[in-house]
Amino acid sequence: MGIEQLILFCVALALVTVIFYISGAIVGNDWTASGSYMLRVLVVAIVAVVAIPVLRSAANEFDLGDLGLLLAFVILIITVRYIMIEELIVSEEWLAAIAVSLVGVVLIYIVDAVAGLISDVRILSLF
């Protein structure tokens, strides 16, 4: 792993952390953040930044198409439910986990598309 890839990984991790904080704040309707909540968001972002590319490349290796992305999304929902939702005030945890994951993934693709339009660099090309 070169220095450029390490910098891209750190930038992607920071962006995904901010994106999941925003999506959790939208779903939970609470914009405050404690230290433990931000640590939970960081863990979810690490899982998202690492799991999605690994599962997508593994699915491509076995010619499974988008099954790897579906599996990564399910793992993301489970991770959000058991790590991040614990500190949000919601009535239905699984529905909130699905909503946070869906909003997070949509925001990730929007940020990636905007970065691709502004420059030739795809910041979240891992996704």
Give the DSSP letter of residue 121: -
pTM: 0.86
Reported as a single tens digit per residue, the pLDDT across 49-75 is 887 778 777 887 888 877 877 888 899
The residues, any chain, with a CB within 8 Å of residue 67's CB and separated by 6 or more, are: 59
- Residue pair 86/40 in contact by the 8 Å Cβ criterion: yes
Domain ranges (residues) in the chain: 7-27+34-118
Sequence letter at residue 58: A
91-124, pLDDT tens digit by residue?
898 999 999 999 998 898 888 888 778 877 666 6
- Residue whose entry in the numeric block shows the structure tokens 């529905």: 95
Q: What span, in angstroms and rounded, lies between the C-alpha atoms of 49 and 96?
A: 21
